Amino acid sequence: MVAASGSQTVGGNGPLAGVRIVEFAGIGPGPFACMMLADMGADVVTLDRVGAARNLKGIAERGRKWVHVDLKDDKSRGDVIELLHTADALIEGFRPGVMERLGLGPEVIFKCNPRIVYGRMTGWGQHGPLANAAGHDINYISITGALAAIGTREQPIPPLNLVGDFGGGALYLVVGILAALMEATKSGKGQIVDAAMCDGAASLMTMFFDMSATGDWVEGREQNLLDGGAHFYGVFECACGKFVSVGSIEPQFYALLRRHADLHDPEFDAQMNRAAWPKLKKRLADVFKSKTREEWCKIMEGTDVCFAPVLTMAESSRHDHMVSREAFLTRHGVLQPAPAPRFSRTPSMVREPEELPLAALVSSWRFADRSR
């Protein structure tokens, strides 16, 4: 067991200790959400198909109990339903209708456990014209306005799969599961959490819809305050070929940027003159190319310029700030992010996964059943 960064307590008694979650194995956002819940102390059991190969040393697999089960077998399905009798939440990421066809849809499960929270993770959601279509993160964020706003002037660029799968998917699923669990303690009733990546990604765009409504955001990439259009908010190449980021939005921070970068030309006075941004951005790019990233770090890092070096994943784990916060850990020789967020009294933990037979798990949960 590995203590989360900044943790002073050992023992895995995270804030979700005692919460039981059954996950139907999937890919992407569902497993990531369950990893977070397991890190926070939840007892997460993952049901995978018989014969499926698992990398129990993998990052997203940490902290779970793994059970192989044939969901098309009546006896096995009955055991799963019995397991769900004592679960607090269920998480599945199949296309709409698959769980119902397996005889494990919400109506069936609510009859055996009225308090259970039924989490459904999909890209398009449980209804709508695209609900049954295949898709990936890039497609789900395409219809929300998010992808169109990210990239160069010439074309959109996928922001990895952070906006759809993990930001708009996994994190909204975790929030929904926790909110529904809180409500169930008052009502005694569970409910369905329909976590669609297109919904979550659209929700993440709230600030930009707000800015658009007030006239502070225009259609088109690299023309706005936060999309690389402004000369004082962007990424710049250094003499060494590496990059730094600058976000000197507030006037006092912009003044520091000008001072540290020797930007004394009066043209830089009109910070918010959009018409001047392209020219000033080119001039600032030339300034940053005059020194290496290391040299700029010595000048600006730790100041109120709002500056940081653009690091690779390997470099990130060695940065002084990340090291001091123990933001990464190594498990089975694999470098990985430590659990987040941090809790002062009930710290998250990275627990080792284990494989169990379904019958043994059902028996142990029944034996340790709590008053419901």
Mean pLDDT computed over 24-33? 95
Q: What long-range pairs does 202-206 form, CB within 8 A, spacing at least 24?
A: 202/144, 202/145, 202/146, 202/168, 203/168, 203/172, 204/146, 204/163, 204/167, 204/168, 205/144, 205/145, 205/146, 205/149
pLDDT higher than 70, residue 6:
no
Q: How far is CA 318 from CA 81, 241, 326, 337, in A?
A: 47, 19, 10, 12
Of the residues 48, 70, 136, 260, only one is catalytic, namely: 136
Residue 3 has a pLDDT of 43
pLDDT higher than 50, residue 244:
yes
Q: How far is CA 197 from CA 11, 50, 192, in A?
A: 34, 28, 16
**Torsion angle (degrees, nearest 10) of CA 88, 82, 29, 211:** -40
pLDDT in tens, 161-181: 999 999 999 999 999 999 999
The mean pLDDT value of the chain amounts to 93
pLDDT higher than 50, residue 207:
yes
Domain segments of the chain as ranges: 2-205+328-367, 243-309
To the query of whether residue 165 is one of the catalytic residues in this protein, the response is yes
Of the residues 39, 88, 165, 227, only one is catalytic, namely: 165
- Going by pLDDT thresholds of 50, 70 and 90, the confidence category of residue 5 is very low
Report the predicted TM-score, pTM, of the whole model to 2 decimal places: 0.93
Residue 183 has a pLDDT of 98
Q: Is the distance from CB of 208 to CB of 215 less than 8 angstroms?
A: no
End-to-end CA distance of the chain: 30
* The CATH homologous superfamily of the domain defined by 2-205+328-367: Crotonobetainyl-coa:carnitine coa-transferase; domain 1 (3.40.50.10540)
pLDDT in tens, 271-322: 999 999 999 999 999 999 999 999 999 999 999 999 999 999 999 999 999 9
To the query of whether residue 85 is one of the catalytic residues in this protein, the response is no
Residue 370 has a pLDDT of 54
Q: Looking at the domain 243-309, which fold is it?
A: formyl-coa transferase, domain 3 (3.30.1540)
Residue 12 has a pLDDT of 55
Amino acid letter, residue 147: L
**Torsion angle (degrees, nearest 10) of CA 191, 197, 199, 204:** 120
